[in-house]
A = this chain, B = another copy of it.
Amino acid sequence: MAKYPASLERLIYELQFLPTVGPKSASRLAFYLLGASDERVRALTQAMLDVKARLTSCSRCGNLAEGGLCEICRDPRRNAKLLCVVATARDLMAMEGAGEYKGLYHVLGGLISPLDGIGPDQLNIDSLLARLQQEPIEEVILSTNPTVSGEATALYINNIIKDKGLTVTRLASGLPIGADLEYTDPMTISRAFSNRRPI
């Protein structure tokens, strides 16, 4: 098979480390970059390096931050009595995107998953317990995914904190808005049925 010049082959190779990028996409991306202006490519590479250099974890909640506290922890309007526990910063953003929740967060940095070698010690649970002691938190909303790992993690944390006199809740499970019963999986229907509520 014919080869491109070395620097182009190298770029195509490096691009294939990106998720969902195979040889064909990598080649298309490489040719795009080859044709793009120098400014455009410099802006992209600089943005990549800046993210690596600047992004840190919030020293309080573990959310993404650029040094010190994250934007949410720095916001005095957030309700410090509510603490929403999520697995990742992306889950946090999904909660924020819904616009409903106005309390604080705690980012675990993952879920308990023995098969992946992730136990409670790898998660930010010690810092969660410390916050429950130091901060005026009244309700903990365990917002891990309704999956095996998410349920196990919520159960584990609930076992530790259930005797601390806090309200501990979990996001409701049921039919997503706009769902079609016909195409909904049996587990979700079972859960929606057992959690049914009066109109």
Chain A residues engaging chain B, CB cutoff 8 angstroms: 1-8, 10-11, 13-15, 17-20, 25, 28-34, 36, 38, 40-45, 47-52, 54-55, 64-66, 70-71, 89-90, 93, 96-97
Contacts and interface: CB of A to CB of B under 8 A. Distances in A.
A6 to B, nearest CB: 7
Given A2-B96, A5-B66, 17 more contacts: A2-B93, A5-B65, A7-B50, A7-B51, A7-B55, A7-B66, A8-B55, A8-B64, A13-B47, A15-B44, A15-B47, A18-B29, A20-B25, A30-B51, A33-B48, A34-B51, A45-B45
Stoichiometry (number of copies): 2
Q: Is the interface of A mostly helix, strand, loop or mixed?
A: helix
List the 9 shortest-distance A-B pairs measured between CB atoms, nearest first.
A2-B96, A45-B45, A11-B47, A14-B47, A14-B44, A7-B54, A7-B50, A5-B66, A11-B51
Q: Give the interface centre of A44, A48, A54 by most chain B CB atoms within 10 Å.
A: A48
A47 B7 contact: yes
Contacts of A15: 44, 47
A71 B38 contact: no
